[in-house]
Chain A
């Protein structure tokens, strides 16, 4: 239990209808090496408890990327994700941690470079803010 919260890998959860497709186009970009990327059916699948559990088990930060809000394949998923990420961030604040360890982005399947930038920006943020 001594592991510092920010030593592990970054976990990115990508909605398979948008962000995952964007990722596949740039999948082996060397810049993304060492980042755990997995697809999820919809950002609406994400739940605050899961996000916190990932952090607890050593994830350096969790980035959830879903479809643009009005464009979610499952209609409500991105809205639900927004609320649940907010719950997880509130929990982090309460735990005295940086709420930005969990981040949510919305983008479409064509936004490969935006995805890359989002991941790298998150990585940069975590590197800059990692606890000593």
Chain B
């Protein structure tokens, strides 16, 4: 034990590092005030002292703690630190090749930016011919699809299926990072709620501007957004734009029905205000509106959330935004890439930590319509974000991985696949040779979800074993431990 005046200040850190070096310590416990609990403190000492951060722990002692109380806190932390293993660092070379899936605006832009940063980029597009041309450091394959994506972040093995269905071939390539920039299929405008001439797609409304003479325009035109799912700024922009055009060119009444006006973008709010001033009515609805069309016209019924009552709107023509219809992203692609989808079938779970371009797999990024962002300026920003993330990852050339990932005890593993199914990050897989589950250190985020789920208690997170957690709580681990003799 080494007393010191202030541990949180640089002098304290230098003092600690000096003691570690002088005494050749491999672990260090620091007790002090709450300041030493702050994020990064142990890492700073680690760098200064040259021992792994996992070997350093900090505990805070209350100002008025009795010496017995302080001793108790220190004893527990000490017992836990004793149990803490020393983690090796693995250095993994990062492949400098990048795969981009989808040649739409998002995919093409990302591929070009990544290629411009000097990474060999392969762009694949499922429909031939690809709209995007090959360039320096950039290869374009079409028709080509991603059949599977296995292995480790930084060196994913992708099976690419090229050529037409039935006559194609499969190739295996290694990529350091993958960007998925697929679109979503357009909604079927022949199915409900559409009805020719009465209920049309919002995207077809503009076509009517030229075709349809003014006398043929009905008294009231309704534009429906958020028909079954919430839409984004792209739809709001299209709706307001069309509403203004109908109002100003044909002098007809226009009602826009939406759940929420999403106008938080440059110029969009002003456009929205302009429409309201021009007399466009906005109705905010809840749930899904019901649309009935007949020879006489169209009746839309919905709950008006502002009035708090059910309303019916009769109009001559309704334009429904197809983005509000549930169009799921390519589920085969999601499965092949191991990407989780959200409730709307979009290739990104509803979680703020993933925004804008991250997925549940390290080194796999999702952008554009397949993740639910269709507003063009945002899509282009996504493309830049994805290119930047790829660069941030791959420019390290070597990935340093602390081997503190989940560990599977082969003797206990029953191969039940629970961990493979519950790991949000696709870090668990079955090691066919060893006949046990195996954790990929580079994919593992050290959350411990698998530890809690494993019915055989075969998985441990070495920095948070039951023993360490019990020691921190001042208790001995479970006295009787099972699992004996296997394989």
Please pick, from B65, B352, B447, B453, the residue contacting A74 in the complex, using a CB distance under 8 A.
Answer: B447
Report the separation of the CA atoms of residues A28 and B60 in the bound assembly, to the nearest whole angstrom. 7
B475 at the interface (CB under 8 A from A): yes
B contact set with A: CB distance below 8 Å? 33-34, 37-39, 60, 62-65, 69, 76, 340, 349-354, 360, 422, 424-425, 445-449, 451-453, 457, 461, 463-464, 466, 469-470, 472-478
Contact B447 A30 (CB under 8 A): no
A102 at the interface (CB under 8 A from B): no
A114 at the interface (CB under 8 A from B): no
Contact A80 B475 (CB under 8 A): no
Contact B473 A28 (CB under 8 A): no
Report the separation of the CA atoms of residues A38 and B79 in the bound assembly, to the nearest whole angstrom. 14
Report the separation of the CA atoms of residues A44 and B445 in the bound assembly, to the nearest whole angstrom. 12
Distance (Å) between the CB of B425 and the closest chain A CB? 8
Query: Total A-B pairs in contact (CB under 8 Å)?
Result: 110
Contact A24 B38 (CB under 8 A): yes
A84 at the interface (CB under 8 A from B): yes
Report the separation of the CA atoms of residues A30 and B354 in the bound assembly, to the nearest whole angstrom. 37
A121 at the interface (CB under 8 A from B): no
Q: Which residues of A contact B466 (CB under 8 A)?
A: 50, 53
A contact set with B: CB distance below 8 Å? 9, 11, 13, 21, 23-24, 27-28, 30, 33-34, 36, 38, 40-42, 44-47, 49-50, 53-54, 57-59, 70-77, 80, 84
Please pick, from A40, A58, A74, the residue contacting B475 in the complex, using a CB distance under 8 A.
Answer: A58
Contact A38 B472 (CB under 8 A): yes
Contact A33 B65 (CB under 8 A): yes
The 10 closest A-B pairs by CB, nearest first: A45-B448, A27-B34, A74-B447, A47-B452, A44-B449, A42-B447, A57-B475, A75-B424, A24-B37, A38-B472
Q: Is the interface of B mostly helix, strand, loop or mixed?
A: loop
Contact B448 A41 (CB under 8 A): yes
Contact B464 A74 (CB under 8 A): no
Q: Which residues of A contact B37 (CB under 8 A)?
A: 23-24, 27
Q: Which residues of A contact B463 (CB under 8 A)?
A: 41
Q: Which residues of A contact B461 (CB under 8 A)?
A: 41, 45
Q: Which residues of A contact B63 (CB under 8 A)?
A: 28, 30
Please pick, from A41, A49, A70, the residue contacting B447 in the complex, using a CB distance under 8 A.
Answer: A41
State whether A54 and B452 are in contact (beta carbons under 8 Å apart), knowing that A24-B37, A30-B64, A71-B352 are contacts in the complex.
Answer: no
Report the separation of the CA atoms of residues A42 and B447 in the bound assembly, to the nearest whole angstrom. 5
Please pick, from A57, A75, A80, the residue contacting B476 in the complex, using a CB distance under 8 A.
Answer: A57
Q: Which residues of A contact B446 (CB under 8 A)?
A: 41
B466, closest chain A residue (CB): A50
